[in-house]
Amino acid sequence: MTIIEPVKPLKASAAFLDRDGVINKEVNYCHKISEFELVEGIVDVLLSLQKKFTHLIVVTNQAGIGRGYYSEQQFQTLTQWMTAHLRSLGITVTHVYFCPHHLSGIPPFNIECECRKPKPGMIMSALEKYNIDPAASVLIGDKVSDLQAAMAANLSQAWLVGTGHPVGQADIEVSDHYFPTMSDLEHFLNEGYVSEIQGR
């Protein structure tokens, strides 16, 4: 009798994305649809990422909730609008993780949490929930704290974009790649990235 070993399912991959300064233009404490404007070129980048990775997952610090500037409900309303808008453009976001905490916020949000980037808690939750291989996954952020979260979660690459917060040379040196614009990233995804990963 032949015993057929169950095939271990292949692990998934993910592109993790910061939100503010990556998906939408950086506005201090963006929480309204009227303040939400897509970064130029992000739609093409998301469409390309979605061809290369199993999941698109957003990981966003939302200290404005903890500080009482806007409510979790307002954040969720904007999130639902954002994901529906992206879906109408052919882009599926698997999950939006957010951290509402800040030490100088108001109770119950003023805690030392494990999810606020540069800590990797949001990424770690996604790796487990969706059976994602960190070595097959990347993160795109506009701040060093995004990159540090990716590194702490052992993602294969942490990419910095110049579409949000001002970027300096010291920030660039922390990243695996720096893309001043989304069209630079788009070019890299279509020309360079596949051979780079296959060479690992």
CB closest to Mg ion, residue no: 21
Pick between residue 21 and residue 66 the one whose CB is nearest to Mg ion: 21
Size of the site for Zn ion (CB under 5 A): 5
Q: Does 186 bind Mg ion (CB under 5 A)?
A: no
Let me know: does 116 contact 100? Beta carbons within 8 Å.
no
> SS3 of 95, please?
strand
d(C-alpha 174, C-alpha 19), whole Å? 19
Which H helix or E strand runs over 141? strand 138-141
Q: Pattern 18-57, binding to Mg ion, x per CB under 5 A?
A: x-xx------------------------------------
* Ranges within 83-142 binding Mg ion (CB under 5 A): 142
Q: Give me the least distance between CB of 194 and Mg ion, in Å please.
A: 27
Let me know: does 182 contact 41? Beta carbons within 8 Å.
yes
Q: What is the DSSP letter of 133?
A: -
Q: Does 101 bind Zn ion (CB under 5 A)?
A: yes
Let me know: does 33 contact 40? Beta carbons within 8 Å.
no
Which residues would be at the binding site for Zn ion (CB under 5 A)? 99, 101, 113, 115-116
Active site residues per annotation? 18, 20
